[in-house]
């Protein structure tokens, strides 16, 4: 018996496969890449390949994330909030607060007993999400992976005065041409994002342990900036990108087990590895 969690994010699609004992069989991430149509299923295919499984071998599949609604091969949709909370608490049993900064939104979650109990989120303006960093990385022609490292070298922070992501991008270019150091600019950018997310998190109230997940947690510059903004310790999973998919897989397994215990059979969808679309 195998279970899958598919997290179709705005930027990246993540898949986690798990057996009934909860052992991870594979985890794959790839770009959601709307321009190439097949990517969600492509990522799923790779994951299956890695685990040497066929799609029909999977007993139950939970889809989550921004693109969860129209995944043709998923049996159930669960919001990324519940999945992240579940994923985080499986990795850090003492976690009480999780912050997920993704490409499309930023969310803060309160966790109790492994479950989501409360949350706040921002999804109105890109300036408070991971997209803010993505956009500026592209502008600066540096790799997203390197942004954090570079920012750590900063001797000072340069304040970014534009709130809008797109204008901030322009501002960054102007700062560079004025001879400001890249690392100082990056430190300013990280600080700008961190203070926005921290404001959101404070709304929920932060209780330790605090875990930062989502793609942005891979960026050590952000982890540092968040620590400074919140003034507390932050735990980061080894593979922060996968937390949502992991949670989805666990919830798939648990849903299945619960139904089995009650002697019910869950409705499942036919296993078609087809492209997923976002808008109905």
Partner 1 sequence: MVVQKEKKTINRLKSMYPLRAKVNETYLKSIEAIQAGKPAVWGMLNFYYGDPILKAMDIEVVYPENYGAIAAAMGVARQYLDRADAEGFPTHLCGYSLTTLGYASRMMKELKGQIPPEAPLGGMPKPLFLMSSAAICDARYKWFQALGRYMDVPVWPLEAPIPGIKEFFIEGYYDKMMKLGVKHLRDFVAFVEKMVGKKMDWDRLDKTANLMIEVNRVWHEVNELRKARPCPMHSRDFWSAMPAALFLAGDLEDSLRLYQDMYREVKDRVNNHVGAIPDEKYRMVFAELPPWHSLAFFDKLAERGWNFVIESFGYHPPIPLDLSKVSDPLERITKFSLQFLVGYFEDARKQNVLGGTSAYPYLKYVKEWKCDGALLHPLITCRSASTHLPYVSDMLIEKLNVPSLSIEGDIVDLRLFNPEDALAKAEPFEETMEHYKRMRKQAGFDW
Partner 2 sequence: MNWFMGIDIGSAYSKGVITRDFELAASHIIISGANYRKSAETMRTELIRKVNLTQNDVANTVATGFGADNVYFASQKTSDIVCTARGINNVFPQARTVIDLAGQSTRVIRLNETGIVTNFTASEKCAAGGGRFVEVIANVLRINLSDFGPLAAKSRRPITFGTGCAVFGESEAITRISEGIPKEDIAAGVNKALASTVASLVKKLKLEEPCAICGGGALNTALVRTIESELNINLLIPAQPQLITALGAAIIAATSVTSQSSTA
Partner 3 sequence: MSDKNKGLNKAREIYLDSSRRAKELKAADKKIIGYPCVYVPVEMLTALDLVPYRTCADMKEPVTEADRALPHSFCPVMRNCLDCALKGKNDFLDGMVAIHSCDPQEKTARIWESYTHYPYFHFIDMPITVRPEALEYFKGQLNDFRKTLEAFTGKKLSADKLEAAIKSHNQQRALVRELYELTKSSPPHVSGTEIVQVVKALTSLPVAEGNNLLTETIGEVKKRAARPEKKSARLLIWSSTLDDTDIMQVFEAKANVVMNESCGGVRAYRGEVKLTADRLEGLADYYLNEITCARTFRQAALGETRKDYGRDLQSRFGYLKGAIKDWKINGVVMLLVRYCDPFAFEIPSLKDYLNSIGVPSTYIEYDYTTGALAPMRTRVEAFIETISQ
- Residue ranges binding ligand ADP (CB under 6 A): 9-12, 65-66, 102-104, 130-131, 133-134, 144-145, 214-216, 218-219, 241
Residue number, 6 or 168, with CB nearest to ligand SF4: 168
Within residues 23-52, the interface with ligand SF4 by CB under 6 A covers none
**Quick one: how many helices (H) and strands (E) in the chain?**
8, 9
Burial degree of 23 (CB within 10 A; 0-12, 13-18, 19+): exposed
Rounded Cα gap, residues 16 and 242, in angstroms: 8
Residue 1 binding partner 3, by CB under 8 A: no
Burial degree of 178 (CB within 10 A; 0-12, 13-18, 19+): exposed
The 68-87 site mask, x for binding partner 1 (CB under 8 A), equals --------------------
Residue 174 binding ligand SF4, by CB under 6 A: no
102 binds, among ligand ADP, ligand SF4, partner 2, none (CB under 5 to 8 A by kind): ligand ADP
Residue 116 binding partner 3, by CB under 8 A: yes
Residue 202 binding partner 1, by CB under 8 A: yes
Distances (CA, A) of 256 to 169, 263, 271: 47, 10, 17
Residue number, 188 or 214, with CB nearest to ligand ADP: 214
Name the residue with tokens 């648990």.
Answer: 254
The binder of partner 3 chosen from 34, 121, 260, 266 (CB under 8 A): 121
Residue 165 binding ligand SF4, by CB under 6 A: yes
Q: How far is CA 64 from the centre of its chain?
A: 11
Residue 156: CB partners within 8 Å, gap ≥ 6?
A: 184, 187
CB atoms closer than 10 angstroms to residue 238: 7
**Residues in the chain, overall count:** 280
The binder of partner 1 chosen from 203, 258, 269, 272 (CB under 8 A): 203
Rounded Cα gap, residues 197 and 107, in angstroms: 8
Residue 42 binding partner 3, by CB under 8 A: no
Rounded Cα gap, residues 240 and 234, in angstroms: 13
The binder of partner 3 chosen from 18, 78, 101, 185 (CB under 8 A): 78
Residue 117 binding partner 3, by CB under 8 A: yes
Residues lying near partner 3 in the complex (CB under 8 A): 78-82, 115-119, 121, 123-124
């Amino acid at each position: 018996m195998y279970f899958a969690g598919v997290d179709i994010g705005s930027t990246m699609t993540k898949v986690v496969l798990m057996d009934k004992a909860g052992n991870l069989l594979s985890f794959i991430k790839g770009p959601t890449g709307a321009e190439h149509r097949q990517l969600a299923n492509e990522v799923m295919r790779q994951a299956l390949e890695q685990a040497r499984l066929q799609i029909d071998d999977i007993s139950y599949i939970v889809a989550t994330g921004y693109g969860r609604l129209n995944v043709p091969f998923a049996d159930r949709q669960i919001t990324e909030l519940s999945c992240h909370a579940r994923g985080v608490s499986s990795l850090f049993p003492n976690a009480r607060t999780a912050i997920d900064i993704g490409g499309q939104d930023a969310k803060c979650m309160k966790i109790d007993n492994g479950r989501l109990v409360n949350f706040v989120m921002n999804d109105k303006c890109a300036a408070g999400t991971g997209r803010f960093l993505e956009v500026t990385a592209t502008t600066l022609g540096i790799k997203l992976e390197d942004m954090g490292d570079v920012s750590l070298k900063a001797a000072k922070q340069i304040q970014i005065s534009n709130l809008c992501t797109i204008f901030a991008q322009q501002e960054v270019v102007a700062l560079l041409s004025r001879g400001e150091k890249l690392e100082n600019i990056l430190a300013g950018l990280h600080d700008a994002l961190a203070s926005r997310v921290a404001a959101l998190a404070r709304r929920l109230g932060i209780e330790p342990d605090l875990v930062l997940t989502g793609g942005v947690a891979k960026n050590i510059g952000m982890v540092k900036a968040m620590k400074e903004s919140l003034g507390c310790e932050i735990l980061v999973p080894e593979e922060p990108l996968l937390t949502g998919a992991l949670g989805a897989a666990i919830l798939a397994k648990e849903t299945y087990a619960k139904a089995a215990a009650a002697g019910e059979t869950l409705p499942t969808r036919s296993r078609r590895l087809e492209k997923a679309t976002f808008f109905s």
